[in-house]
Amino acid sequence: KNQVEQSPQSLIILEGKNCTLQCNYTVSPFSNLRWYKQDTGRGPVSLTIMTFSENTKSNGRYTATLDADTKQSSLHITASQLSDSASYICVVAGGGNKLTFGTGTQLKVEL
């Protein structure tokens, strides 16, 4: 069964600190892995998309890594800001032309 597991479920950090969110998947065959940011009451917004051959990709203060051998990905947020407070969703494409969504990590950045 295709699954995407994210950890932690929720996280609180102080503004200016860094944090790393984890994503483990069992989707096979693998096509690509996506990270989305979803603000409360809004639709998800794409942050990065990585294929099998890419092991790191950045979008401003967001850096995603991919280890296709261990089927793990991480999203690192540098110098967090209050506006980073959101749910971060890992999505894996593959397994029969499907997208499998994780349940998200809820991040809160506090002063």
Partner 1 sequence: NAGVTQTPKFQVLKTGQSMTLQCAQDMNHEYMSWYRQDPGMGLRLIHYSVGAGITDQGEVPNGYNVSRSTTEDFPLRLLSAAPSQTSVYFCASSYSGTAASTDTQYFGPGTRLTVL
Cα–Cα nearest to 98, from 28, 22, 50: 28
Q: Which of 49, 59, 74, 85 binds partner 1 (CB under 8 A)?
A: 49
Q: Does 93 bind partner 1 (CB under 8 A)?
A: yes
Q: Does 10 bind partner 1 (CB under 8 A)?
A: no
- Helices of type H across 1-111: none
Q: Does 21 bind partner 1 (CB under 8 A)?
A: no
Cβ-contact 73, 90 below 8 angstroms: yes
Binding map of partner 1 across residues 52-91, x = CB under 8 A, - = no contact:
-------------------------------------x--
Q: Does 102 bind partner 1 (CB under 8 A)?
A: yes
Cβ-contact 16, 10 below 8 angstroms: no
- Take residue 111 and report the two structure tokens written for it: 């002063």
The DSSP line for 67-79 is ETTTTEEEEEE-S
Task: Give contact residues for partner 1 (rule: CB under 8 A).
Answer: 4, 31-32, 34, 41-46, 49, 51, 89, 93-94, 97-104
